[in-house]
Every structure is written in structure tokens, then in C-alpha cells.
Amino acid sequence: MAYSRAALVACLLAMRAGFAARGPTVSTAAAAASATTCDAADPYDTLPDDAALQACLDAYDWILLKPPDRPGYFGYVISQTLKLRHDHILLTTADNPRKVTLVASPDLTEPLLRVSTANDYEISFIRFDGNRESRKVRDKPCDTSHDFRNVELSGNRFHVRYVDSLRAPCGSGMVVGGANDFEIVDSLFYDNGRQPEEANGTAGLWADGLTVFGCTRSAVRDNVFWDNSDVDLGVNGGDRCAVYRNTISHSWKYAFAGLVAGDPSRSGGEFSDNLVTSDYNLLGFGIVVGCHPWGACSGGYASNLSVHDNHALGAVVNLAVDGLNGGRVENNTASGAQGDRVLNCNLSADYTAGHVVNLSSLQRGFLNRTFDAGSFCQP
């Protein structure tokens, strides 16, 4: 379907007005930004669209893709990873707030989208569908050389909003690394990866919802996560990193943890007003401060975190502070611990603390317990 010039101009003006209303962001100064609806790509068939989409991404500043407007919508099929290669790109829908779908082809062996050389971009109103059950790699575990995540982002001053990421075969729905001054807001991350009981006993098919390796001067807020299979939201922290008002729930798929705050690679970060809930034995940890339960942390300590006013309900261990040097943990609520499926342990508890030093504040009422590999929840 072709969009008239008048309709395209109206869409651009509406988006520009929206950007102005919420403050400076990508392309706000680009009064003469080039734009396309990329009509060479057709979301109403099952043929690959990545070559046409990549040509549009390389040639234009604003790529306004078609959401469903009639029966037969399949989504844009991605058989080779899309890449943002220049600054100030806007990748979004042509009909806000209706979302566009990018769906992985069965043959795709890399992410749907990768950004490694761009800054000042925005990705919004896009649904990244990893198409796990149809992928040829669906039963191949992720490792250091094979990671079938949906999206990889890096760069400075970017915005991700109103995005969905779902059905990644393993790894993560979205990974952010090498990035500063960004925001991820009002987005959905769900049903990524599988536990062995879903995959005929095959291990290593786990996936996070959103994995952030550092968020200096950045925000992860107002997002919703459910039924991912590794960690729903893992943020290493960083100076002026803000992680707040995110909601995490588990009602049918197990994960090792809902929110993991901090690891030894970053210092700082504020985690507040997040809500984590779980049905019986579907979430090992609700909230983990530090990452001692994971061997990859090598016993290192997160540092100078502020973790306050969060709420965890129904996990095996609702709040665990394990591996924190400096900072404060206060005014969090944890209740209704249940089950016995948690890393390196089989005992439920609402609130535990261990391997904690130099804190300015640690709320009372904890059990002295650690979860290091091999420790079996030792006091």
C-alpha cells in the first residue's frame, strides 16, 4: 500500500509535534529529514524484506513502516540482520500508535536488528518477534559464539519506546551494551527463551527479557515483563542509572530471577518502585541485589547501589542481597515467599542478605543467607 504525500507529511508533522512535546530527542533538529514508508518491503507476504528495509535504513533518516490495516498482515520478514549505520535514524510506525511487526525468518541465525555504529536514534512502535518455534536454531543452546537474541543496541543518546520483544530462541529479547544517555520506556518483553522442561530436557535455551550491561546517565522505566526464562530484567548499573516503575510477573513459565540489580562491572544505579510477582515455583528470586548466585560474577561485588521502595511477592526468595559493597537497601517490601526452586538452594524466604559490606543502610528483618554456587544457601 502506498502512502500519499499529504498523508506522509501529516504523519511527519504529528511525530515532530510529539517529539517537541516530550523534549529533545532524535531528529528534532532535522527540519529537512528525509523520510520513507519503504514500499519496496511488503508485510503482507512471507518473502524476505530485509534487503529492501536495509536499503531504506541506509538512505533515509525516518523509516515509517506499515502496521496492519487489513487482513493478511504477516509482518516484515527478516532473513539477514538489519543494521542502523548512521546517526539520527527514526525507525517507527506510519500510523501511531499501531505497531509494526518485524518477524524472524526460519533461517535467521543472528539478531533481527543490530545497532553498533549509530547514535541519536529512536526505535518505537516496533514488535520484534523472534519466531522461536519456527526457527531452525530453536533447539541450539546459546553460547559465546552463538546467541540468538532478538535485538542488540549500542550507542549514545538513543530512545526505545513502545517496543515489544518476544519469542527469542535464547539469549535475550534485547541486549544493550556500550551505551550511555539512553532510555528504554513503555515497552514489553515476554516469552523469551525456554526452560529444559519446555524443550525435551535441553538446557541452555534460556533468555532474558532485557539485558543492560551498563546504563550511565540512562533510564529503564515503565516497562512490563512476563514469563521470560532466565532473568526478566538485568541491569548492571552505572552512574546516574535509573531503573523504576517496571512490572515483572510470572504465571506460567519459570525464570531464575525477575530483577537483578548490579554486578561488579559498574558502580552506582538507583532501582525503585519496581513490582515483581510470581505464581508458585515460577520465579527463583524476585529481586537480587548483586549477582553472587551466578558463577559468571566470580564472587565480585556490585557497588554503591540504591535499592528502595520495590515490591516482591510470591517468588521462592523475594528479595536477596548477595554481593553488595556500599550503597543502601531500604523500604522494600517482600511477602508470600513460596516454593523451593531457586539457584543453589531449595529454601524459600522473603528477605535474605549475605556478602554485604560498607552499606550506609540495610533494612532490617533479613535472614543471613548466601547463594553462591556450591554453598547451598549457607548462613
As its CATH architecture, domain 1-198 has 3 Solenoid (2.160)
Report yes or no: 252 and 230 within 8 Å, Cβ to Cβ.
Answer: no
pLDDT (tens digit per residue) in 28-62: 444 468 999 999 999 999 999 999 999 999 999 99
pLDDT digits (tens, 9 = 90+) for 213-250: 999 999 999 999 999 999 999 999 999 999 999 999 99
Q: What is the mean pLDDT of residues 99-115?
A: 98
Confidence of residue 379 (pLDDT cuts 50, 70, 90): confident
Residue 364 cell numbers, joined: 532490617
376 alpha carbon, distance to own chain's centre? 30
Give residue-wise pLDDT tens across range 288-330: 999 999 988 888 999 999 999 999 999 999 999 999 999 999 9
Q: What separation in angstroms does the CA of 185 have from each of 35, 56, 63, 105, 242?
A: 24, 26, 20, 27, 11
Q: What is the pLDDT of residue 5?
A: 41
pTM over 0.85: yes
pLDDT at 105 over 60: yes
Domain boundaries, the chain: 1-198, 230-379
Q: Per-residue pLDDT for 22 more than 50?
A: no
Whether pLDDT at 9 is above 60: no
